[in-house]
């Protein structure tokens, strides 16, 4: 009988030490995993994982020390030490899963502060239990082969912690489960590891709080070693997981710019709502898909400054390499900025720079540029072209009689008559003051003269219907035309049409003159 008793004591002694040694190694392993992760990846999610590891390591090591103590006071001391980490583990796991599901988006303060505040309250209640006995109603110590085994009566705050820990397992498990159902294949494997990490402690925890383990041994610390291990696999072995938070650090969910985060294989690691609305090829979640499949308009070879069109909008791209994380290749951040209104404004400003502000006709510089382009085309085919020069008659006298406001109206009406009376390819410009020029491509001088005669007649009646002005307006016209070749000089053509216009004035005004050598002489 004595020998049997000795063997039982020795067996119990070594079982406790083997379990304690496993916890010591597990605590060190857990702390090393957290430090390794933060050394490899520097982002919010991994920082949360580090705190999970440190809290778990404190709890695991503290419990290993508790079960191997030989005095009641040291057992109490290590029980208090481990409770500096235990109440925070559930809160940190919840926050960790929230960040994972949210792809690195920063949550509201309540998501961070409320769970941590609950944990702090639980720590305070546990550490002051000797005052109120609301956590442990009473403590019992049994000598177990030289070790002091602590059992206790469970107070109301013990069940608050137990309930809170269960919620911090069940709620994150449901969140990850829903994420698994809707996530693309590229993310399902790492999501499974996160789910395993969340669920692994649930059975050991239920066994412990139910009190069915022999001698009150808590197997929850051992389960946490495996739980942290599964979390670390999700972090350390999947590059997509590390890229999304990096991109999210520079993302604003409500920004109008479309933002894409790509991994090194041009797969979508993240995309904001503006990107999905403007560029997504379907309703499926693009995360994990290749860029070509998810957003066909965004070619991987596009560079900063390139433009694409989507939803009748013009988008200009900026491409930014993301920082390299550990041994993984860097991804990239693509920002598509909607420049539609800017582009339209620039086009409008460019148009305004080309037009005369009063009449809306081409200004002198723009008219010369446009005609030079036409001359280049006509010269290749040796076609004819003609210039009509127009000067309103007695315009200074008109201004003195009716006022400058009426003079502006007269200039606008004259411009409209000239513009309406020519073909679409013909180029009408304001030379300055009350002078106008028209270029008629592929028109010989006499055809141009017929056009000028029609314009002259229309000009006479342009202001007669105006009740305030009720006056006639006439103009003197000069026409010059020739075959356009490489030797043509636009300024020379305008000068000869101008000479013909002066001939019209000398002949009595309100008439059309075609340039010839007599006009020059």
Give the span between the Cα atoms of 219 and 520, in whole angstroms. 114
At which residue do the structure tokens 């560029």 appear? 279
Give the span between the Cα atoms of 262 and 400, in whole angstroms. 71
Each of the 521 residues of the chain gets a pLDDT tens digit; together they read 334 333 443 444 567 778 888 888 988 988 888 888 888 776 777 888 889 889 989 998 988 888 888 788 888 889 899 889 889 988 898 888 887 776 545 556 667 788 889 999 999 998 998 899 898 888 777 776 666 777 778 889 988 888 888 888 888 888 888 877 776 565 677 778 888 888 888 777 777 777 665 556 777 888 888 888 887 777 766 544 454 544 444 444 556 777 878 877 778 777 777 777 777 766 567 777 777 777 777 777 777 778 777 767 787 888 878 766 555 556 788 888 887 777 777 767 676 678 888 999 999 999 999 999 999 999 988 999 999 999 999 999 988 888 888 899 999 999 999 999 999 999 999 998 999 999 999 999 999 999 999 999 999 888 776 656 767 789 999 999 999 998 889 999 999 999 999 999 999 999 999 998 766 65
430: Cα within 13 Å, side-chain hemisphere: 21
Give the span between the Cα atoms of 62 and 59, in whole angstroms. 5
| Beta-ladder partners of 477 | 390, 512
- The conformation of residue 355, written as its DSSP 8-state character, comes to B
121: Cα within 13 Å, side-chain hemisphere: 13
The count of residues in the chain is 521
Contact (Cβ atoms closer than 8 angstroms) between residue 227 and residue 201: yes
Give the span between the Cα atoms of 30 and 36, in whole angstroms. 10
Mapping DSSP to helix (H, G, I), strand (E, B) and coil, where does residue 141 land? strand
Give the span between the Cα atoms of 161 and 155, in whole angstroms. 10
Give the predicted TM-score (pTM) of the model: 0.49
Of 416, 440, 447, 443, the residue nearest 430 (C-alpha): 416
The sheet with strand 313-321 has its strands ordered as 268-271, 258-262, 332-338, 313-321, 307-310
Give the span between the Cα atoms of 112 and 97, in whole angstroms. 12
- Full DSSP string of 362-421: B-HHHHHHHHHHHHHHHHHHT-EEEEEEEEETTHHHHHHHH-HHHHHHHHHHHHHHHHHT
Sequence-distant (6+) residues with CB within 8 A of 258 are 271, 272, 274, 275, 278, 279, 315, 335, 336, 338
**HEC per residue, 174-241:** HHHHHHHHHCCHHHHHHHHHHHHHHHCCHHHHHHHHHCCCHHHCCCHHHHHHHHHHHHHHHHHCCHHH
Cα dihedral: 121, 124, 128, 132 (round 10): -10
């Amino acid at each position: 009988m004595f020998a049997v008793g000795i063997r039982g004591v020795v067996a119990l002694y070594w079982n406790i030490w083997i379990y304690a040694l496993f916890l010591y190694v597990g605590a060190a392993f857990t702390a090393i995993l957290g430090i390794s992760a933060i050394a490899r990846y520097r982002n919010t999610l991994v920082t949360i994982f580090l705190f999970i590891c440190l809290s778990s390591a404190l709890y695991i090591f503290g419990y290993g020390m508790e079960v191997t103590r030989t005095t009641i006071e040291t057992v109490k001391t290590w029980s208090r030490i481990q409770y500096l980490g235990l109440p925070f583990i559930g809160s940190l796991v919840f926050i960790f899963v929230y960040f994972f599901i949210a792809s690195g988006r920063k949550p509201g303060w309540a998501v961070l502060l409320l769970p941590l505040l609950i944990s702090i309250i639980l720590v305070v209640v546990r550490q002051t239990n000797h005052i109120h006995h609301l956590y442990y109603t009473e403590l019992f110590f049994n000598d177990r082969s030289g070790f002091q085994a602590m059992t206790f009566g469970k107070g109301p705050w013990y069940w608050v912690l137990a309930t809170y820990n269960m919620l911090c397992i069940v709620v994150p498990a449901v969140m990850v489960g829903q994420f698994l159902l809707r996530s693309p294949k590229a993310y399902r494997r790492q999501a499974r590891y996160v789910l395993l990490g969340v669920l692994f402690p649930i059975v050991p925890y239920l066994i412990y709080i139910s009190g069915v383990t022999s001698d009150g041994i808590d197997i929850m610390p051992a389960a946490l070693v495996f739980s942290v291990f599964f979390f670390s696999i999700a972090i350390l072995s999947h590059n997509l997981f590390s890229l999304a938070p990096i991109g999210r650090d520079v993302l604003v969910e409500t920004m109008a710019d479309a933002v894409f985060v790509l991994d090194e294989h041009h797969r979508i690691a993240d995309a904001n709502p503006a990107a999905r609305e403007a560029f997504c090829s379907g309703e499926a979640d693009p995360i994990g898909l290749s860029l070509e499949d998810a957003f066909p308009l965004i070619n991987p070879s596009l560079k900063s400054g390139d433009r694409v069109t989507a939803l009748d909008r013009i988008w200009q791209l900026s491409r930014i390499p993301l920082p390299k994380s550990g041994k993984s290749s860097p991804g990239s951040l693509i920002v598509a900025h909607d420049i539609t209104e800017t582009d339209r404004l620039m086009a409008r400003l460019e148009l305004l720079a080309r037009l005369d502000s009063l009449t809306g006709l081409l200004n002198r510089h723009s008219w010369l540029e446009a005609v030079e382009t036409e001359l280049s085309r006509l010269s290749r085919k040796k076609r004819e072209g003609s210039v009509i020069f127009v000067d309103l008659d007695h315009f200074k006298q008109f201004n003195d009689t009716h006022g400058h406001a009426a003079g502006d109206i007269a200039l606008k009406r004259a411009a409209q008559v000239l513009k309406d009376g020519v073909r679409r390819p013909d180029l009408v410009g304001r030379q300055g003051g009350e002078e106008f020029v028209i270029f008629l491509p592929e028109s010989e001088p006499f055809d141009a003269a017929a056009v000028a005669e029609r314009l002259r007649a229309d000009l006479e009646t342009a202001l007669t219907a105006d009740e305030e002005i009720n006056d006639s307006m006439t103009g003197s016209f000069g026409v010059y035309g020739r075959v356009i070749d490489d030797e043509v000089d636009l300024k020379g053509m305008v000068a000869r049409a101008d000479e013909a216009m002066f001939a019209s004035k000398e002949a009595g005004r309100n008439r059309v003159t075609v340039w010839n050598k007599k006009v020059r002489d």
